[in-house]
Structure 1
Amino acid sequence: MLVLIVVVIVLVLGFVLVQRIDQGRWHRYQFERDIFFRNHPYQYVGNEQFEQQLLISKPAQRKLINDFMWKNDQQVIYKKVLVLREIEQQQRTTVKVIIRELTLGYVEQDYAASLCQQLQSTDFEIGRPIEVLAEFTLATRKDQLYVSHIKLDLPFDPRQVKLHLLDATKEK
């Protein structure tokens, strides 16, 4: 009887140990995958029509202007941004736009849902961002510089996005 209890305890401890090791491997894999995705995003090669407009909050505007040290004499600036699906939001589809770890804003809800549906079989679904060119229009009001609007080089119809995506890792 004592031998049976010792065997059961050893099996339970062995199972718990194996489970913790596997959980550590899974977390390490997720971390390395996220780093790979950030270093190798999909590239969107568009027609530079800038058909999608993005709303940006005032604190994000100030941080953006300060981080990039933009001046009053610059009216239109072009920068690459990352369009990224937020994985935590399972009940509704949200797609955010970031630049240098600063969240600029969120893509319109209907557009985001359609975009995620079109890119369902790609790595975008699990967190790989899309690198997109953005047009920042600066303006001044009462001697205060602000970002009047941001336009993304994404088509009006999100079904066309998949046709213009490039995966740089597959080309090598």
Structure 2
Amino acid sequence: MTSTEKPFLINPEDPMIEAETQAFSYRNTLNKVKGQFIEVYVTGGRSIHGYVTNVLNDYIVFFSPVFKILFISMHHLKWFTPYSTEQTPYTLDNSQLPVVPSKVPLVRNFEEQIKKNIGELVIFDMGEVPEKVGLLKGVSNNIIELINASGEPVIWKLNHLKTMHLP
């Protein structure tokens, strides 16, 4: 290329390009759909319908009329689709959909949020696998210990868990 030719590709260090790239981030997009009815796909053969209420470092807080408050790891959030602003899940009346930020105290990352529920019954991955439902015994170094319905300990790696909610 001669010194008079312009490069074919856009200069990625151009401040305008950098601003546009930052404006279209995953986190920014999730923040823009807060409070709007969306469908998210996380695990298994089904998606979840509801509303993003909070976007944190590595997870979102999601309100679903079916599951209530879900904590969803952003590492496993495959896609989401906003619905029209007039549409509500399951044609429920707006009075049946309290889309308000969770009153549950939130921390910045998924592991720390899960730790807040030690000693409580929890449901991981929407209960699709019975061994992912139980009493949360401990969380340490990316390892989670649950006590299942039979009283037996079950160990899971945190980075394999996609969602958590309380019964």
Return the TM-score normalized by structure 2.
0.29
More contact order relative to length (CA 8 Å, sep ≥ 6): 1
Instruction: Please say which structure displays the higher CA radius of gyration.
Output: 1
Q: Determine which structure has the larger helix proportion and give its number.
A: 1
Pick the structure with more strand per residue: 2
